[in-house]
A and B are shown apart, each in its own frame.
Chain A
């Protein structure tokens, strides 16, 4: 067993699958990170991915062009994100409930649309949809171990790498990044500083929609070559947990989504040696929630220590702040 696992994790095949299954999670996690920084909990990422996966397949089959399919899929995902924004920001709806509702609509709605178009509820194989190209890298391809890992990956995997750079730049280098964080941390202060919070929030929602759209299209036009019902398999929810693990940074999102990717890839190998598939399928979610719990625990400890120091200072000064906010 141990030898089997060490054998697996050193093989180039394993790491190829790790990159492939990390990519969609990384894209949505980045989407969750950027909206969270603006103070929005985008629970509708799962719904965004589902619609993107279906619309991508339908439009690529209709037009015969995978990229037009991807654009349409992104459009659908952004529309879901904008609906979340419209209901929660303009109609004062509970953000989490809106996300839950949009996911419910996506889960059943995609099946409804698929059935109405093809007469099949489970899979879109009757549609002649296109797949996105894989990237063979000359020279690199011939490097013994590394070549097999990085060459031959789907183009979306590289998009995910680019997305990390883009989101990192947006959050840290650009003025918009400061505005996003100001909006997320203190709405009133942001407004006083002349920032239009709603506009910032909608901007982050659009970005998260684009990222979730790419991830969704990858699932149905690269990872597999069909739309199947429930294809997102909770990846949107995983992203919401991974976002916490990521700690609000694009670099953190890499590690957080790798956590899922590593176990997800290991699970595909473990199924081959006769371990019960149900337990193995539960593994990536278990690792994600453990990571989620550990990170919130650490964050909470840090917060407690910071508060204690603050109160100690206030006690020493003997000011009125000493009694404020103590629990």
Chain B
């Protein structure tokens, strides 16, 4: 393979334009991105097809689904709000996938983080700035400890981390709702809800009459932090090396088990933090009747971002767009919101398939080989 721009010249390749040119000429990098975009386009096209099958007023439903987030200003702000939890779980899954682990424990970290934050938000008395901060740190720490469990089981006894994380997700969900119901429940309410949060716990809203809250800045900050951590520090390098080749990493003197543990702590921390931010930013009391299952969305965000934290905002934006559009459509039509899981699942199926992701490259290599053969 001849990739001519590489290696030649040095100074003129600096700068955004030049690096963009470099990107578009390096087909090894360009093609996976194209496949990712095609997967997204395919999912949307499949969604439109599905709407035409089930809906009685398909055109209106398609319009609401595709343009929902920009048809109402409120919807667009809501999209930004939805991005916040997707960003946190997406970042957590980026770390876990960089290690090549398959744990879905972020779900439990997120849910239990919200429970811990609720306990602090209801019962502790602290000054305004400090209150949510304490809750976030506590929720993050608890989430981190939960996040380590499947990793410990795998490292110590080689127990499959996906299976153990799924079991633990159920257990932590039931224990969490037990805590809400028996220690934090508001008995004056007929619906299932915790006692209201204290005023000091609630994060300020950025724009009045919308749900947009300060949490979006926290999410943005963590995108930067996780990018730097994964790609600019020794820790991140160790994580990526362990994921790429654990045996080689071990021979190179990297404490593979310790790396996996702190990476999982950090991923769980992000999950727990996400749960706390969601509570103090969006809600006035804990009102989740079911597990919101943001870990699954995190999987999709991380896969669309190709495990790179830098692209997490882009893929979280895309996924939030789909969710808000689907929500808007289902409220104003006859298509159930759940149809979105069909699209999300097909995105995972496409991006998980190496043969599909590498199809362009395979075709290019085959053609090059045929050409070389013909030239002989």
Given contacts A92-B355, A104-B341, A237-B163, contact A87 B158 (CB under 8 A): no
Closest to B55 in A: A116
A108 B164 Cβ-Cβ under 8 A: no
User: Which residues of the partner chain A approach B355 to less than 8 Å between Cβ atoms?
Assistant: 90-93
Partner of A289, one of B168, B178, B341, B356: B168
Closest to A300 in B: B157
Contact of A108 among B299, B341, B349 (CB under 8 A): B341
> A142-150, A175-183, A212-220, A280-288: which lies at the B interface?
A280-288
Complexed CA–CA distance, A81 and B339 (Å): 21
Give A286's nearest chain B residue, CB to CB: B171
B265 to chain A minimum Cβ distance, whole angstroms, is: 20
- Within B129-181, which residues are at the interface with A (CB < 8 Å)? 153, 157-160, 162-164, 166-168, 170-171, 174-175, 177-178, 181
Given the complex, which residues of A lie within 8 Å of B352, measured CB to CB? 87, 93-94, 97-98, 101
Report the Cα distance A319→B293, complex, angstroms.
54
Contact of B339 among A92, A108, A234 (CB under 8 A): A108
| B160 pairs with A237, CB closer than 8 A | no
Interface 1/0 per residue, B76-106 and A, CB below 8 Å: 0000000000000000000000000010100
A253 to chain B, nearest CB (A): 15
Count B-side interface residues using an 8 Å CB cutoff: 41
A205 interface residue, CB < 8 Å from B? no
Query: Which residue of chain A has the shortest Cβ distance to B104 in the bound complex?
Result: A100
> How far, in angstroms, from A15 to B174 measured CA to CA in the complex?
25
CB distance from B302 to the nearest CB of A (A): 11
Instruction: Say whether B175 contacts A278, CB under 8 Å.
Output: yes
A105 touches B346 (CB 8 A): yes
- Give the residues in chain A near B178, CB-CB below 8 Å: 276, 278-279, 282
Q: B344 to A104, Cβ gap below 8 A?
A: yes
Contact call A91/B345, Cβ cutoff below 8 A: no
Are B163's CB and A241's CB within 8 A? yes
Q: Is A297 among interface residues, defined by CB-CB distance under 8 A?
A: yes
- B341 cross-chain contacts in A, Cβ below 8 A: 104-105, 107-109, 112
A297 engages B348 (CB within 8 Å): no
Q: Check if A168 is an interface residue, CB within 8 A of chain B.
A: no
Q: Are B354 and A115 in contact (CB under 8 A)?
A: no
Q: Is the CB–CB distance between B299 and A100 below 8 Å?
A: yes
Q: Are B356 and A91 in contact (CB under 8 A)?
A: yes
Tell whether A231 is near chain B: CB-to-CB under 8 Å.
Answer: no
B-facing mask of A282-302, CB < 8 A → 1, else 0?
A: 100110110011001101100
- Digitize B310-350: 1 where CB-to-A-CB distance is under 8 Å, 0 elsewhere: 00000000000000000000000001101111101110110
Shortest Cβ distance from residue B345 to the other chain A in the assembled complex, whole angstroms: 3
Which residues of A sit under 8 angstroms from B54, Cβ to Cβ? 116
Q: Nearest residue in B to A107 (C-beta to C-beta)?
A: B341
Query: Are A116 and B336 in contact, with the CB atoms below 8 A?
Result: yes
A105 proximity list for chain B (CB < 8 A): 341-342, 345-346
Hey, which chain B residues are within 8 Å of A115, CB to CB? 336, 338
Contact assessment for B353 and A92 in the assembled complex, using a CB-CB cutoff below 8 Å: yes
B182 at the A/B interface (Cβ < 8 Å)? yes
Given the known interface contacts A97-B352, A285-B167, A296-B157, the answer about A279 and B342 at a Cβ–Cβ threshold of 8 Å is no
* Chain A residues proximal to chain B, CB less than 8 Å: 41, 43, 87, 90-94, 96-98, 100-102, 104-105, 107-109, 111-112, 115-116, 121, 234, 237-238, 240-241, 244, 276, 278-279, 281-282, 285-286, 288-289, 292-293, 296-297, 299-300
Extra A-B contacts (16), CB below 8 Å, given A96-B102, A104-B341, A115-B338: A91-B353, A92-B354, A93-B352, A97-B102, A102-B345, A104-B345, A108-B338, A108-B340, A237-B166, A240-B160, A241-B163, A279-B174, A285-B170, A285-B171, A292-B164, A296-B159
